[in-house]
Amino acid sequence: MNIFLILISLSLLDEIAPFRYVLNIASDGHKVYSSSPFGIAEFDFYTGDYVRGYIMQDEVEVIAPDIYTGYIYYSSKGNLYRFSTTSNFRYPVGMFFGIKSIGITQNEIYIDEGGVVKIIDKFTGIPKTSGKGGVLWFGEKRNLKKDSKDVFFLSPYFYYAPNFGKIEYTVFYEEKNKIFTGTWGDGIHIYQKGLFMEEKSQRIGPATPYITIIKNTKNGIWIGGKDYRGYSGLTRKKTNDWIVYKEQEVFGLPDENIVDIEEIGNRTYFAYPDGISVFEKERFYKLTGTYLSLRECTAILADYPNIWVGTDDGIYTIDSETGDIFSQFLKGIYVEDIEKSGGIIFAGTEKGLFYISPDKKDFKLFDDEKQYSLSHILKLGNKNDTLVVACALGVFMIFKENSRSKTHYLIPPFSPNIIDIRPYKDMIFFATLDGLYFYNIKKDFWKKEYFAKKDFGIAVFSLMIKGDTLWVGTDKGIFLLKL
């Protein structure tokens, strides 16, 4: 028997969200740098085009490029760092309280520490005296005299303008007759001084960069996430438009803790701990079945004309239009996930893997040789009628061979704390708190995918495949990977 191996190369295609949330802006006259809770982004000064990003474990606050050495200096939670864009390494310079601005000279670093200016040797980090008299001003680029030498301050004096149009959080930076506006959620916009007409802008990203669920439906791509710095909401990407729905503005909207999304016809169903919301004809409404006020919803499965709802007290089948309950199964058992494979509905629970035959009379406990299915089931995925199961003991696949169920066991090189599963051709992708892993079925090979030259502990929560692109939802925004 000949076995043909298909090798898929993953390459970073684009980032959505990590660098649309801007805290500070600085420029060296040729490139513009923005800081965010996720790292540093680099833009072309003249066109405003995004060049590259540097994902980091730090929340990058004030930022200042050094035209003499090529390094970038930045502050993060009271620490000052020197960062190399070539090696992606950072070097600690010192600890300070409340850095407001950073100025760079040939041999020195000027720190505005809440109104107190400190001068530091750029190479040793040793503090220096500030000398006698004189006023140091950290603002737009200027020449200042100090000991008969020119001192160039490249860090901008930035200020915030709330409710600037549709933008809720804006940082302004002015240089060379251009005004750069860094926004919270909409990246960087560039305006020509005097005209104040938009020259370059980016499409808006998700409502929050902490992405926990992504789903492609007829109504568009839905993106949900946790509250981050007071910004939350549900996002829909329809063609090239990003539409953000906020709970305080939209009636019937599910809260930010969405656990599952399904669709029947032109309706999209959102399951969250307190119930189910429906999106239909450009509006939201909540199903009002009696179970909503009594149970915690954990998962849903659309199986026309009904919906199977996983809860903390088993599974309910409900009418997809009214929410009325038809039946209940696995009473008293906490359900983690529901999936349909080969015409059979499976339920992953705290007490093992259950299945129900097409006659839908009752669920039975699935049994396998190693008894993986009798442990706590974490997540289910389906690929061409092959069920992929993540449990407390590991990962296994259930498939049919000669009308009988067969089980194949996988040995992942990571803890079994799997949050999402997405199969694609001969690959299976796993979202974990430790990052993104994928498994080549035919080659029996595991690999971890890195989003940067160094792994900075990016947690992956959700996966979606659209065409030949993998959408990866993380705690640092969305990453798109070409398959």
Q: How confident is the model at residue 129 (pLDDT cuts 50, 70, 90)?
A: low
Mean pLDDT to the nearest integer, 320-329: 86
- The rounded distance, in Å, linking the Cα atoms of 474 and 225 is 9
Q: Enter the tokens of residue 197.
A: 């007409």
Residue whose C-alpha is closest to residue 426's, from 54, 6, 43: 6
pLDDT at position 161: 46
- pLDDT tens-digit map of 344-373: 999 999 999 999 977 778 999 999 999 999
Of 200, 235, 265, which marks where a domain is finished? 200
Whether 7 is in a domain gets the answer no
Q: Are 309 and 320 in contact (CB under 8 A)?
A: no
For residues 169 and 306, state if they share a domain: no
- Percentage of residues in the chain with pLDDT exceeding 70? 83
For residues 192 and 297, state if they share a domain: no
With 70 as the cut, is the pLDDT of residue 293 above it?
no
For residues 373 and 318, state if they share a domain: yes
Whether 368 is in a domain gets the answer yes
pLDDT at position 49: 79
Residue whose C-alpha is closest to residue 425's, from 1, 13, 3, 6: 6
- 338: Cα separation from own chain's centroid: 24
Whether 206 is in a domain gets the answer no
With 50 as the cut, is the pLDDT of residue 170 above it?
yes
CATH code of residue 66: 2.110.10
With 50 as the cut, is the pLDDT of residue 154 above it?
no
pLDDT at position 141: 40
Whether 286 is in a domain gets the answer yes
CATH code of residue 423: 2.130.10.10
Whether 260 is in a domain gets the answer yes
Structural domain including 104 reads 18-200
Mean pLDDT to the nearest integer, 302-330: 90
For residues 145 and 254, state if they share a domain: no
Q: Enter the tokens of residue 318.
A: 């409900």
- The rounded distance, in Å, linking the Cα atoms of 168 and 155 is 23
Question: Can you give 293-354 as a three-state secondary structure string?
Answer: HCCCEEEEEEECCEEEEEECCEEEEEECCCCCEEEEECCCCCEEEEEEECCEEEEEECCEEE
Of 200, 235, 257, which marks where a domain is finished? 200
Domain count, the chain: 2
pLDDT at position 330: 95
pTM for this model (two decimals): 0.84
Of 134, 168, 200, which marks where a domain is finished? 200
Whether 154 is in a domain gets the answer yes
With 90 as the cut, is the pLDDT of residue 128 above it?
no
Run of H or E residues at 388: strand 386-391
Q: Are 300 and 307 in contact (CB under 8 A)?
A: yes
For residues 192 and 227, state if they share a domain: no
Q: Out of 49-58, 86-95, 197-206, 430-439, which region has the weakest mean confidence (pLDDT)?
A: 197-206
For residues 183 and 219, state if they share a domain: no
For residues 413 and 439, state if they share a domain: yes
pLDDT at position 367: 92
Given CA atoms 215, 291, 246, 231 in this order, what sign does their dihedral have?
Answer: negative
Q: Are 130 and 3 in contact (CB under 8 A)?
A: no
pLDDT at position 142: 39
Backbone angles phi, psi at 372, to 5 degrees: -60, -40
For residues 162 and 51, state if they share a domain: yes
> What count of Cα atoms within 13 Å lies in the side-chain half-sphere of residue 257?
8
Whether 123 is in a domain gets the answer yes
Q: How confident is the model at residue 7 (pLDDT cuts 50, 70, 90)?
A: very low
Q: How confident is the model at residue 139 (pLDDT cuts 50, 70, 90)?
A: very low
For residues 233 and 342, state if they share a domain: yes
pLDDT at position 173: 75
pLDDT at position 156: 45
Mean pLDDT to the nearest integer, 217-226: 94
Residue whose C-alpha is closest to residue 31's, from 57, 79, 63: 63
For residues 176 and 289, state if they share a domain: no
Q: How confident is the model at residue 167 (pLDDT cuts 50, 70, 90)?
A: low
For residues 260 and 373, state if they share a domain: yes
Q: How confident is the model at residue 145 (pLDDT cuts 50, 70, 90)?
A: very low
For residues 180 and 268, state if they share a domain: no
Whether 3 is in a domain gets the answer no
